[in-house]
Amino acid sequence: MRKSMSIVIFLVAGLIAAPAFARAEDKSELQKRMREAEQVLKMSVTAPDKGIPKELLERAECVGVFPGVAKGAFVVGGEFGRGVFTCRGRDGAMGPPAFFSIGGPSVGWQFGGNVADFVLLIMNENGVKHLLQDHFTLGGEVSAVAGPVGRTVQAATDLQLHAEILSWSRSRGLFLGASLKGTVINHDEKAARLFYGREVPAREILVDHAVPVPAAAQGYVKAVTQYSKRAS
């Protein structure tokens, strides 16, 4: 019994400590994250009959991709992952990426776990304002709902069409809208400093586009711009 309790305590402690350990990254890991984000986006958009509707990508102000978010734990469940957001400039093209973490504890009997990729679309200016904060909670101060899947938005509900943030997940080959209510998203200032070589606030990256797109991020930014290009 004592041994079982020790295992539970160890697992819970590991989950709580995960964000602290996850920040100990180097630049090569950030570059890898960019490549993974590009692949996740491509798979999410091109999924046969189940991808993100193009109309929503065209309407989106910002696109966020979180590859390989770990979810599930023994007794106390939660998720933690890292990803990137990029936002549209005045010319319609997407700009340099800013780094974010995603996580949200939940209580319940959850044996085992899985890994999923997440794609989030910021649909309006109010959503962008939340993105520029140090952190915000989906379904809390910002309206966020599971996004519709398919080639068009015909199946979208009124709630989806007016949400500030739409979210999708991809796990084990399945792609579907994901409800991430209660999930907290944090701007990763340390990762930004490491990637750009100096302190850069989220606003300067996402809205002002005050930094050039690094070579390691050009593939991702090009893909986001291509998939979200608005009709002229």
Contact 202, 132 (CB under 8 A): yes
Number of domains in the chain: 1
Choice among 66-70, 132-136, 173-177, 223-227 with the minimum mean pLDDT = 173-177
**Tokens 């002229």 belong to residue:** 232
* Measured distance CA(103)–CA(119) in Å, rounded: 14
Q: Which residues pair with 116 in a beta bridge?
A: 69
Per-residue confidence (pLDDT) for residue 100, from 0 to 100 = 95
Per-residue confidence (pLDDT) for residue 157, from 0 to 100 = 72
* Measured distance CA(165)–CA(60) in Å, rounded: 9
User: pLDDT tier at 225 (50, 70, 90 boundaries)?
Assistant: very high
The answer to whether residue 75 sits within a structural domain is: yes
Residue 231 has pLDDT above 90, yes or no: no
Residue 14 has pLDDT above 60, yes or no: no
Of the two residues 131 and 109, the one the predictor is more confident about is: 131
- Between helix 218-227 and helix 27-46 the angle, nearest 10°, is 20
User: pLDDT, tens digit, for every residue of 144-201?
Assistant: 888 887 766 766 676 777 789 999 988 877 788 888 888 889 999 999 999 999 999 9
Choice among 19-23, 25-29, 69-73, 149-153 with the minimum mean pLDDT = 19-23
The answer to whether residue 59 sits within a structural domain is: yes
The answer to whether residue 232 sits within a structural domain is: no
The answer to whether residue 183 sits within a structural domain is: yes
Q: Which structural domain range is residue 60 located in?
A: 2-227
Residue closest to 163 by CA, chosen among 185, 193, 140, 142: 142
Per-residue confidence (pLDDT) for residue 18, from 0 to 100 = 42
Residue 210 has a CB neighbour count (10 Å cut-off) of 13
Highest mean pLDDT among 21-25, 45-49, 83-87, 174-178: 83-87
**Alpha helices per DSSP H over 51-198:** 54-59, 125-131, 158-161, 189-196
